Amino acid sequence: MPTYVHLLQEHEPPVFEPSVLDALRAKLNAEVALSVGPTVAPEAEILVSGSPKPEHLTGPRLRAVIVPFTGIAPNVRAALLEFPHLTLHNSRWPAIPTAEGALTLLMAATKFVLPADRAFRQHDWRMRYAPSPSILLHGKTVLILGFGAIGKLVGQMCHALGMNVLAVRRSAAPLALPFPAEVFSINQLRQVLPRASILIVTLPLTDETKGLIGAEELNLLAKPAFLVNVGRGAVIEEAALYHALKDGALTAAGLDVWYNYPTDKASQAHTQPSQFPFHELENVVMSQHRIDLVREHDARLVEELAAMLNTAARGEPLPNVVNVQAGY
């Protein structure tokens, strides 16, 4: 008995290009019957879609939805809440490039790579002979806010650099980790912030995490304070972040996630990511929410998605379950 899977493709350009679909089909077991198109097949048991709407979730045989990304958008969570019999699953492999990207932003911000690069392109050597604003990461304490797949990888990388790792997650229940870390519950956040001079945010955006970090929390960090955000922009209050960077409460930051995004192809060429002029600040490394986009993306996604669907076809539970109520 085949397992019927529908991959929803509504827009141009498609999320899955023809070559990617061919690679996916080549890795699927014979028991997986895959259909593709803008209308969900009535026999579909599993739906693959990055942004399913309520009308896509009404199929009589549908039992699971796979979002082929790490983050679950608020509109997707809202849609799934209307269908509590459906399970939600996501892609976990992007945790690796996202963690690598977090370390890239951390290095660039704490070593002031971009100001040095800009100056040297004008043949200006003065930073070489002035007191350095850079810090030594070895021996510093980092607090990772959000300790899921991405946060754990970031923690492992920070430990490899000789940093002391603190982490905050929903629960402080003991974890089996391949590196030493102190783990705290979200209720202990303000108590832990003064112990760290570096804050790395990997949290998704939910009702509970929106605006979790404001001016008071940023001021609690040990000085000099640095911040990296690879979670979602609105986890940190927009005005508080800008003014902390402008006024010196934060020495520098690396930001991959934002508050305002392009709404169509034309606006991709010129959309300010915030109502505040972060681009005027010398102490910010700015990235267009792209640190998880690597050349290997399609191949790794195909491998993970095929493994998930083949697992379902064997009658085993689908992995990568998302708690719809919590949003991650």
Q: What is the CATH number of the domain that holds 117?
A: 3.40.50.720
The least confident of 13-27, 279-293, 298-312 is 13-27
Residue at 7 is within a domain:
yes
Distance, in Å, from the CA atom of 41 to the CA atom of 56, rounded to the nearest integer, reads: 10
pLDDT tens digits for 116-144? 999 999 999 999 999 999 999 999 999 99
* pLDDT at residue 12 in the model: 65
pLDDT over 80 (residue 277): yes
pLDDT of residue 315: 94
Q: Which of 161, 190, 204, 158 is nearest to 177 (CA)?
A: 158
Check pLDDT > 80 for residue 93. Answer: yes
Contacts 24+ apart (CB under 8 A), 216-221: 216/190, 217/189, 217/190, 217/193, 218/244, 218/249, 218/250, 219/244, 219/249, 220/190, 220/193, 220/194, 221/193, 221/194, 221/196, 221/197, 221/250
Number of domains composing the chain: 2
Q: Does residue 156 register a pLDDT over 90?
A: yes
pLDDT reading at 13 higher than 90: no
pTM summary value: 0.93
| pLDDT of 1 strictly over 90 | no
Give the structural domain span for 185.
Answer: 95-286
pLDDT of residue 73: 86
Question: Cis peptide leading into 2, omega within 30 of 0?
Answer: no
Q: How many CB atoms lie within 10 A of CB 82?
A: 10
| Judgement on whether residues 35 and 141 belong to the same structural domain of the protein | no
103 and 237 share one domain: yes
- Using alpha carbons, list the distances in angstroms from residue 316 to 255, 311, 312: 39, 6, 5
Q: What number is the average pLDDT over the span 36-46?
A: 95
Report the interhelical angle of 297-313 vs 18-27 (nearest 10°).
Answer: 40
Residue 169 and residue 22 in one domain: no
Residue 327 counted as domain residue: no
Query: pLDDT (tens digit, 9 = 90+) per residue, 217-268?
Result: 999 999 999 999 999 999 999 999 999 999 999 999 999 999 999 999 999 9
In a shared domain, residues 132 and 207 = yes
Residues 101 and 247 occupy one common structural domain = yes
Residue 319, preceding bond cis, omega within 30 degrees?
A: no
Q: What is the pLDDT of residue 10?
A: 79
